[in-house]
Amino acid sequence: MNSNHSPLNPEPDSWSNHSPGDLSIELKKITRTELAPPLAAAEKAARLWSRTPLPERLACLTKAQQGLQAAKTSLAHGISVETGKPLKEALGEVDAVIAKITLTCEDAQRYLKIETPCDTPHPSQIRRLARGPAAVIAPFNFPLHLGHGAAVAYLAAGNPVLFKPSPLAAVVAEQYGHIMQPCFPEGVFNLVQGGGTTGRNLCLDPHIRSICFTGSIQVGRSLAQELATDFSKDLALELGGKNASLVFADADLDLAAIAIAQAACLTAGQRCNATSRIIVHHDVQEAFTEKLLTALSFYQPGDPLLLETTLGSLISEAAQNRYAGLITDTSGTWLKQGKVEPLIAGKKGYYVQPALVLNPTSASLSQEECFAPILNLFIARDLIHMLELHNQTPYGLTTSLFTRSAQIFQNMADELMVGNIYANLPTTFSPSTLPFGGLRDSGNGRPGGRGFIRFTTVEQALQLGKDTLT
């Protein structure tokens, strides 16, 4: 199948990754996917799969869930080796992958049922139609969970899926694909390997009817612009954040310090919902800062394959180099200086230390997503100043408010253009049982998490004139 657009720079036909936590480990070679065969297979499967009764589609998902459960330990090990994510976190990711299928089946039964309005002039139905082949572009930081959540929603709603993982997590994604694909009719689940050019070509192909993309603002904005004239395509964007935690004068400072340190250091800060900014009321700044420095000391780089490791590696040399550049920024005062750790437990990898900087003014630190365990600390005079500092970035994904006051929480939440707001919880506390989506530069309001299935279909109304059908 030929697309009606020009490709970007050519990609290699194959590649292999080294483990970012142990560069002596070279993983198996991955071959780039030629798009025409899976696109043809998905197009061929679309009509049959959309007309497969919902209980049969959900039965296929349940079969996939059983396969994922059986492979839980192996998948978690693969995530840890290939991305440097600590094994404890990787096991949690696979648990979320397994649980997502149960939640999606429940959502399908809730949102996909036919409605029969009682206030229309004629007998009527409102039903949900599958959109057609869907492209899911998954990130490296949650190589299975984030893409999987969209994929199973599309599948439950009757859409074939073309799942393109990050090339930095291609091996564990291949294992995932081998589990998923046999659970569905031919052409319904397709694994597509490749880089940015492959992803763009896939999304822009005229046979793709819906897209879920998780990644950078730059790529997300480019996709939105290129798809703007194709009204029949739906695009869901999750584009990251510069997430803040607000510590009020009445906060439980111990709780706040522990939660914020955790939200900054999970997955080595490589989470779209990681805390990277702290806005603290001046009355408690000294006490809180002392407690935060103590909490950050818990996160020391270690072998990702050990269950006790609290801080794994960054994903790549480029990520480590960017971190190294950021910690030399002199626009603020470093309260905890960052450091590159080239060797941990005898293993060479992309390891770094958490860092804390007071009042940075450069855009690279204070405005841009760092995707590393670097925290910015700002001191606020009062609640209005806290709100002003919070709104200085263009993002709107997650915010945590640390206060004992329900009124403060509600009043502040009313003023924040953020998709997910938490009281006395880490910004990373994003359960699959709730919607999850960003506003402004963090996304286009198409939530992941619970309820994503609402965006996997189109609405069709049927109206029957009286005595016109027999």
Which pairs with CB-CB distance under 8 Å and at least 24 residues apart come from 354-361?
354/261, 354/264, 354/265, 354/269, 354/296, 354/299, 354/311, 355/327, 356/292, 356/293, 356/296, 357/329, 357/332, 357/333, 358/332, 358/333, 358/334, 359/332, 359/333, 360/329, 360/331, 360/332, 361/331, 361/332
Would you state the pLDDT for residue 232?
85
How much is the mean pLDDT over the chain?
A: 94
8 A C-beta contact, residue 355 and residue 327: yes
Which tens digits make up the pLDDT trace of 224-250? 999 999 988 999 999 989 999 999 999
Q: Is the pLDDT of residue 181 over 50?
A: yes
The residues assigned a catalytic role are 238, 272
pTM for the predicted model, two decimal places? 0.94
Q: Is the pLDDT of residue 409 over 80?
A: yes
Would you state the pLDDT for residue 9?
57
Lowest model confidence (mean pLDDT) among 9-13, 29-33, 145-149: 9-13
Would you state the pLDDT for residue 162?
98
Which domains, ranges and CATH numbers included, belong to the chain?
Answer: 14-239+444-462 (3.40.605.10), 243-431 (3.40.309.10)
8 A C-beta contact, residue 155 and residue 59: no
Residue type, 19: S
CA–CA–CA angle 435, 441, 446 (5° rounding): 30
Which tens digits make up the pLDDT trace of 93-127? 999 999 999 999 999 999 999 999 889 888 898 99
Cα separations in angstroms, 138 against 77, 114, 334, 408 = 19, 31, 34, 37
DSSP code, position 212 = E
Question: How far is the C-alpha of 467 from the C-alpha of 470, rounded, in Å?
Answer: 7
Question: How far is the C-alpha of 160 from the C-alpha of 43, rounded, in Å?
Answer: 8
Question: How far is the C-alpha of 444 from the C-alpha of 213, rounded, in Å?
Answer: 11
Residue 198: its H or E element? helix 196-204
Cα separations in angstroms, 281 against 356, 402, 403, 415 = 17, 11, 11, 18
Would you state the pLDDT for residue 468?
66
Question: How far is the C-alpha of 190 from the C-alpha of 181, rounded, in Å?
Answer: 7
Which tens digits make up the pLDDT trace of 313-359? 999 999 999 999 999 999 999 999 999 999 999 999 999 999 999 99
Which tens digits make up the pLDDT trace of 272-302? 999 999 999 999 999 999 999 999 999 999 9
Q: What is the mean pLDDT of residues 395-409?
A: 97
Would you state the pLDDT for residue 470?
63
Would you state the pLDDT for residue 5?
40
13 — pLDDT class (breaks 50, 70, 90): very high
Q: Which of 215, 251, 254, 257 is closest to 426 using CA atoms?
A: 257
Would you state the pLDDT for residue 120?
86
